[in-house]
Structure 1
Amino acid sequence: MSGATADPRLAAARAVPKKRMRLSWSDPALRGIVWQVVIVALVVLGIWWLVSNTRHNLEVRRIATGFGFLWREAGLPIGEHLIDYSPTDTYFRALLVGVLNTLRVAIVGIVLATILGTLIGVARLSKNWLLAKLSAVYVEVLRDLPLLLQLLFWYAMLQGLPGPRQALHPAEGVYLSNRGLKLPGLVWEPAHGWALAAFLIGLVATYFYRRSALAKQMADGRPRPVWPAALGFLVVLPVAVWAALGAPWTVDWPALRGFNIQGGLTLSPEYFALLLGLVLYTAAFIAEIVRSGIMAVQLGQWEAAQALGLRPGQVLRRIVLPQALRVIIPPMTSQYLNLTKNSSLAVAIGYQDIVSIANTTLNQTGQAIEGVAIIMGVYLTISLSISLFMNWYNKRIALVER
Structure 2
Amino acid sequence: MTIRKTSSPAPRRRLSWYDPALRSWIYQGLILAVVGFVVWYLVSNTLHNLSARNISSGFGFLHREAGFAIGESAIAYTPADTYERAILVGLLNTLKVSVIGIVAATLFGTILGVARLSKNWLVARVAGAYVEIVRNIPLLLQLFFWYAVITTNTPGPRQALHPLPGVFLSNRGLKLPTLHGGAVDWMLGGLGLAIVAIIVLGHWARKRQDATGRVLPLGRIAMAILIGLPVLGWLFSGASLAVDMPYLKGFNFTGGMTLSPEFAALLAGLVLYTSAFVAEVVRSGIQSVDRGQWEAAGSLGLSRARMLRLVILPQALRVIVPPMTSQYLNLTKNSSLAIAVGYPDIVSVVNTTLNQTGQAIEGILIIMAAYLVVSLSISIFMNWYNQRIALVER
**TM bucket, shorter chain:** 0.7 to 0.9
Q: Following the alignment from structure 2 to structure 1, what is the Cα–Cα distance between the partners of residues 224 and 145?
A: 47
What is the CA deviation profile of residues 80-130 of structure 1, one whole-angstrom value per residue up to 9, with x for unaligned ones? 111111111111111111111111111111111111111111111111111
SS at match of 1:126: coil
Matched, 1:266 2:258: yes
What is the CA deviation profile of residues 232-288 of structure 1, one whole-angstrom value per residue up to 9, with x for unaligned ones? 765556556656878965555556565445544322121111111111111110011
2:387 to 388, 392, 395: 395
1:165 aligns with: 158
Q: Following the alignment from structure 1 to structure 2, what is the Cα–Cα distance between the partners of residues 247 and 310?
A: 49
Matched, 1:129 2:121: yes
CA shift in 2, pair 1:301/1:391, >3 Å: same
Matched, 1:302 2:288: no
Matched, 1:104 2:96: yes
Matched, 1:376 2:368: yes
2:216 to 221, 225, 247: 225
Structure 1 residue 32, shift from structure 2 partner: 2.2
- TM-score, with length taken from structure 2: 0.86
CA shift in 2, pair 1:135/1:252, >3 Å: farther
Structure 1 residue 185, shift from structure 2 partner: 3.6
Structure 1 residue 47, shift from structure 2 partner: 1.0
Matched, 1:88 2:80: yes
1:153 to 145, 149, 156: 145
Q: Give the partner amino acid of 1:225.
A: L
SS at match of 1:266: strand
Q: Following the alignment from structure 2 to structure 1, what is the Cα–Cα distance between the partners of residues 199 and 133?
A: 41
Structure 1 residue 43, shift from structure 2 partner: 0.8
2:133 aligns with: 141
CA shift in 2, pair 1:252/1:315, >3 Å: farther
Q: Pairwise mapping of residues 1-400 of structure 1 onto structure 2 (< 5 A)? A: 23-161=15-153, 162-168=155-161, 174-180=167-173, 182-187=174-179, 189-190=181-182, 193-194=185-186, 197=189, 221=212, 223=214, 225=216, 227=218, 236=228, 239=231, 249=241, 254=246, 259-400=251-392
Structure 1 residue 176, shift from structure 2 partner: 3.5
Structure 1 residue 221, shift from structure 2 partner: 4.7
Q: Give the partner amino acid of 2:65.
A: E
Count residues in correspondence. 383
CA shift in 2, pair 1:245/1:103, >3 Å: closer
Query: Taking every aligned residue pair, what percent have the same amino acid on both sides?
Result: 60
What is the CA deviation profile of residues 267-310 of structure 1, one whole-angstrom value per residue up to 9, with x for unaligned ones? 21211111111111111100111111111111111111110011
SS at match of 2:284: helix
Structure 1 residue 386, shift from structure 2 partner: 1.0
Q: Following the alignment from structure 2 to structure 1, what is the Cα–Cα distance between the partners of residues 372 and 186?
A: 32
SS at match of 1:352: coil
Q: Following the alignment from structure 2 to structure 1, what is the Cα–Cα distance between the partners of residues 382 and 392?
A: 18
2:182 touches 2:239 (CA, 8 Å); kept in 1?
A: no
Q: Following the alignment from structure 2 to structure 1, what is the Cα–Cα distance between the partners of residues 231 and 69?
A: 39
Structure 1 residue 215, shift from structure 2 partner: 6.5
1:186 touches 1:249 (CA, 8 Å); kept in 2?
A: no
Q: Following the alignment from structure 1 to structure 2, what is the Cα–Cα distance between the partners of residues 65 and 351?
A: 28
CA shift in 2, pair 1:153/1:324, >3 Å: same
- TM-score, with length taken from structure 1: 0.84
CA shift in 2, pair 1:169/1:302, >3 Å: farther
SS at match of 2:393: coil
What is the CA deviation profile of residues 121-141 of structure 1, one whole-angstrom value per residue up to 9, with x for unaligned ones? 111111111111111111111
1:99 touches 1:353 (CA, 8 Å); kept in 2?
A: yes
1:164 touches 1:177 (CA, 8 Å); kept in 2?
A: yes
CA shift in 2, pair 1:169/1:196, >3 Å: closer
Q: Give the partner amino acid of 1:73.
A: E
Q: Following the alignment from structure 1 to structure 2, what is the Cα–Cα distance between the partners of residues 383 and 341?
A: 8
Q: Following the alignment from structure 2 to structure 1, what is the Cα–Cα distance between the partners of residues 76 and 239?
A: 26
Q: Give the partner amino acid of 1:314.
A: R
Q: Give the partner amino acid of 1:38.
A: L
Q: Give the partner amino acid of 1:369.
A: I
Which deviates more from structure 2 when the two are superposed, residues 382-391 or residues 189-198? 189-198
Q: Give the partner amino acid of 2:341.
A: I
Structure 1 residue 167, shift from structure 2 partner: 3.7
1:184 touches 1:251 (CA, 8 Å); kept in 2?
A: no
Q: Give the partner amino acid of 2:269.
A: G
1:147 touches 1:281 (CA, 8 Å); kept in 2?
A: yes
What is the CA deviation profile of residues 61-87 of structure 1, one whole-angstrom value per residue up to 9, with x for unaligned ones? 121111111111111121111111111
Q: Following the alignment from structure 2 to structure 1, what is the Cα–Cα distance between the partners of residues 364 and 388?
A: 36
2:4 aligns with: none
SS at match of 1:127: coil
CA shift in 2, pair 1:134/1:235, >3 Å: same
Structure 1 residue 389, shift from structure 2 partner: 1.2
Structure 1 residue 30, shift from structure 2 partner: 3.1
Q: Following the alignment from structure 2 to structure 1, what is the Cα–Cα distance between the partners of residues 290 and 13?
A: 51
CA shift in 2, pair 1:247/1:45, >3 Å: closer
SS at match of 2:258: strand
Q: Following the alignment from structure 1 to structure 2, what is the Cα–Cα distance between the partners of residues 198 and 157?
A: 35
Which ranges of structure 1 fall in alignment gaps of 5 or more residues?
1-17
Q: Following the alignment from structure 1 to structure 2, what is the Cα–Cα distance between the partners of residues 314 and 376?
A: 44
